[in-house]
Amino acid sequence: MRPVARKENSKDVYESKSLLCKLLNRGSLFCLICMYVLVIYVFVELPQKIPTHFNVEGQPDAFGSKGNLLIMLVVATLLFAVITLVSRKKNNYKTVNTLVANNRNQNEYIKTLFNFAKFLVTLSFLLVVTMIVSHSLPKYHSALNKSISVALIAIPIIAVIAVIVLFRGKFSSSSR
């Protein structure tokens, strides 16, 4: 006997009710706003040549014009918008278990994953912009650079651990 497909309410797909999703969305937006405020505040003070790439120790190893900072803002904003639109698209969360009764829960988990990815992307861009500003302007250059480079290296590790812990066993077909 085949399981009967449940028609999901479009509101469930479009808007997540979970507190975690709301916090991740607001955190992503906060990181994006902080990035814009930082760049607007220091753009005039920046030298024409700024670091554009950093090695593992957090030392700049490539340089470019300060216009690259504006390009980073545009790319971060586009990524934020694309991830937001993709996560809100109806019927985007069809999985192998489309007919399983807990499909609504799987859609929530996938929505949370999208929000988590969006938060990590915007946080990473904010940290990189902060590193560029602190290396470009001596008055902002401090011990913070070391912390930021460690955070940039730690983000992928934290992401993998968080996904494993938060979503362990949620997508297995045996959880009916």
pLDDT in tens, the chain (176 residues): 444 444 444 444 334 457 878 888 898 999 999 999 989 988 998 999 999 888 877 788 899 999 999 999 999 999 999 998 888 765 555 544 454 445 566 777 778 888 888 998 998 898 888 888 888 887 766 655 656 666 666 777 777 777 676 666 555 544 44
> What's the number of domains the chain is made of?
1
Tally of CB atoms within 10 A around 65: 14
Let me know if residue 176 belongs to a domain: no
Q: What is the DSSP letter of 171?
A: S
Domain that holds residue 25: 17-93+101-167
Let me know if residue 141 belongs to a domain: yes
Give the pLDDT score at 150: 64
Let me know if residue 106 belongs to a domain: yes
- Residue 46 in contact with residue 136, Cβ under 8 Å? yes
Let me know if residue 175 belongs to a domain: no
Give the pLDDT score at 88: 78
Q: Which two tokens stand for residue 82?
A: 């694309």
Let me know if residue 11 belongs to a domain: no
The alpha carbon of 145 is separated from its chain's Cα centroid by a whole number of angstroms, namely: 21
Let me know if residue 157 belongs to a domain: yes
> Can you give the pTM of this predicted structure?
0.71
The alpha carbon of 176 is separated from its chain's Cα centroid by a whole number of angstroms, namely: 31
Q: Which two tokens stand for residue 67?
A: 């216009």
CA distances from 13 to 23, 32, 40, 60, 167 (A): 18, 24, 36, 43, 18
Let me know if residue 37 belongs to a domain: yes
* CA angle in degrees (0–180, nearest 5) for 93-89-113: 50
The alpha carbon of 2 is separated from its chain's Cα centroid by a whole number of angstroms, namely: 38
